[in-house]
Structure 1
Amino acid sequence: MIGKSRLIDVIAGTNRGLVATEAQKQAILAAIANLEDLNPTPRPLEASNLLEGNWRLLYTTSKALLNLDNIPLYKLGQIYQCIRVESASVYNIAEIYGLPSLEGLVSVAAKFEPVSDRRVQVKFKRFIIGLQRLIGYQSPGNLIQQIESGQKFTALDFPIKKEEQQGWLDITYLDDDLRIGRGNEGSVFVLSKS
C-alpha cells in the first residue's frame, strides 16, 4: 500500500520522533491522516486477532515517552506496547540504555475497556522502573508473564490507585502489522507488530 510505505519512509530517521524537525512532523502527520482515511479495519476493537500482540513504537508525539530520553547518562531504547485482548490488559515497556550493566526499564501495566468501535478507556494499574538485570528482563513477553503471575521485582514497583491516572486511546488504523492511535493528550502513536 502506497500510503503505508509513504508513512514508513517519512518516519525513517526521526528516532521515534526524538529528532524529527517541524517539517518532518508535518509530513508525518499528513501521511498518518492519509493512511487513516484508508483504514481497512473500521471497527478495530472487534478485530482482536489483529489487535493482540506485541507492538513496537515507530513514532510518537507523546512528550511523556520522548522525555524518557532526557534521563542523564541514558538513552531511550525500544518502546513496546503489548496488548492482551482476553484479559483487557496493555503493557507499555520502555528499554533505557546507558552505562554497561546499568540498562534500565520503565513499564506501566494498565487495563482497557472499549467505549466505542475504536476507543478504549485506559486505567493505569502498576508502575515498574528499575535495572533490567535486577528485574530479570529478557523480553517484553517474558516481563508480561512475570507481571501476570504477580511477581514483585527488585525495583520501584508499586500500584497506581489514583482515578485520575487514566486516559483514552482511539485506534485510527489497524492492519496485520501496523497500528495508529491517537490519545487523549493529543499524542499520535505509530506502531508495528513485532
Structure 2
Amino acid sequence: MATMLVQPPFPASHVIPLRTSRLVPPKHSRTKTTRFGDSPSGSTSIYTIRVAEQSSGLVGNDTLVYTKAELYQTLEGINRGIFGAPSAKKSEIEDLVKLLESQNPTPDPTLNLEKLAGCWKLVYSTITILGSKRTKLGLRDFISLGDFFQTIDIPKSKAVNIIKFNVRGFKLLNGQLTIEASFKIASESRVDISYDNSTITPDQLMNVFRTNYDLLLSIFNPEGWLEITYVDDTMRIGRDDKGNIFILERSEKNSISP
C-alpha cells in the first residue's frame, strides 16, 4: 500500500455532475447522501454529495471537477475494491483515472513535496484479497476491514500505513496493522519505497493473524516504487511497480493510534 504510499474543500462536499453529461455544468442544486466503505466501529463513512450550480467560486477547471466527481460516484458501493469489482466497473474507474492523470495539475510531485505531506485515506485500490487468501485471513465473517490511512512525513522521508481491523468474535475488538516504510526520490514523479517494520496491535489481534502474518504482509507490503500520477489539494493517485492503482483523498485524521 505504499503503494498507498488543512482541511480541503473536497471531499466533504464533492461536486457531482449529472450522469447524462460529464462536462456540462448542472443547472439545479440538490443534496444526496451516500454510503462508502465500512468502519471498524460499525459506523459508515458518509459522503455528502452535492449537485450544485457552477459558480466563479469553484475550481476553474470544470472538466477536472466533474471528472473527480464522477469518479467518486463510480467508487460507491465497492468497498475500495479490496474484495474485487466487476470488470466493467474497473474499466470505468481506469478510464476516469487516466482522464484525471492527463490533467494532472502537479506534473512534478516530488518537486512539490508539500502536496504529498500529511494524512491520506484510501478510497480505491486494485490490490484485492480474494478466494483462499480472504478465507485464511478470516475476512469473510470473522474479521472485517476498516479504514486505510497513510501518513507522509516529508522531513523524515517516512510513510506510515495503517490498516484498521475489527474482530467480531472478541467483543468487537478493534485493532490495526501498522507498516512503516522509507522513501527516496527516484524522479520528478517517482519514489522508491523500502519496508522498515510492521506491528499489529493489540496483542489479541496479533494472535488472530499470527499464523497468516506473512500472507498479510505480502498483500500490504509497500516495498517497490510508486509513480505519483496525479495530486492536487484533495486527491492523490499512484501506480506501483506491480501494476496496481491507488486513489487516496485528504483526511482530517491526524492521529495514527488505534
Residue 165 of structure 2 corresponds to 96
Question: Are the equivalent residues in 1 in contact too, given 2:84–2:128 (CA < 8 A)?
Answer: no
Superposition deviation, residue 64 in structure 1: 6.4
User: Rg larger in 1 or in 2?
Assistant: 2
Question: Are the equivalent residues in 2 in contact too, given 1:103–1:132 (CA < 8 A)?
Answer: no
Residue 144 of structure 2 corresponds to 75
Which of 28, 49, 62 matches 2:127? 62
Residue 226 of structure 2 corresponds to 169
Residue 240 of structure 2 corresponds to 183
Deviations along 1:87-145, one digit per CA (max 9) or x if unpaired, are 1000111001122342221111000000000100000001111328999xxxxxxxxxx
Deviations along 1:47-76, one digit per CA (max 9) or x if unpaired, are 2221101100000001369x9865221011
Residue 4 of structure 1 corresponds to 68
Residue 143 of structure 1 corresponds to none
Distance 1:42 1:96 in 2: 35
Superposition deviation, residue 22 in structure 1: 1.2
Deviations along 1:7-51, one digit per CA (max 9) or x if unpaired, are 111111111013521111110011101110000000111222211
Matched residue type, 1:51? L
Which of 84, 87, 101 matches 2:156? 87
Unaligned runs of 5+ in 2: 1-64, 211-216, 252-258
Distance 1:36 1:130 in 2: 37
Greater strand content: 1
Distance 1:186 1:53 in 2: 25
Unaligned runs of 5+ in 1: 136-154
Which of 111, 133, 138 matches 1:46? 111
Distance 1:166 1:3 in 2: 31
Instruction: Give the direction of change, closer, same or farther, for the CA distance of 1:182–1:36 in structure 2 (3 Å limit).
Output: same
Q: Secondary structure at the match of 2:89?
A: helix
Residue 97 of structure 2 corresponds to 32
Instruction: Give the direction of change, closer, same or farther, for the CA distance of 1:69–1:49 in structure 2 (3 Å limit).
Output: farther
Two-structure CA RMSD over aligned residues (Å): 2.8
Give the % identical residues: 33
Q: TM-score, normalised by structure 1?
A: 0.78
Distance 1:103 1:186 in 2: 31
Residue 13 of structure 1 corresponds to 77
Q: TM-score, normalised by structure 2?
A: 0.60
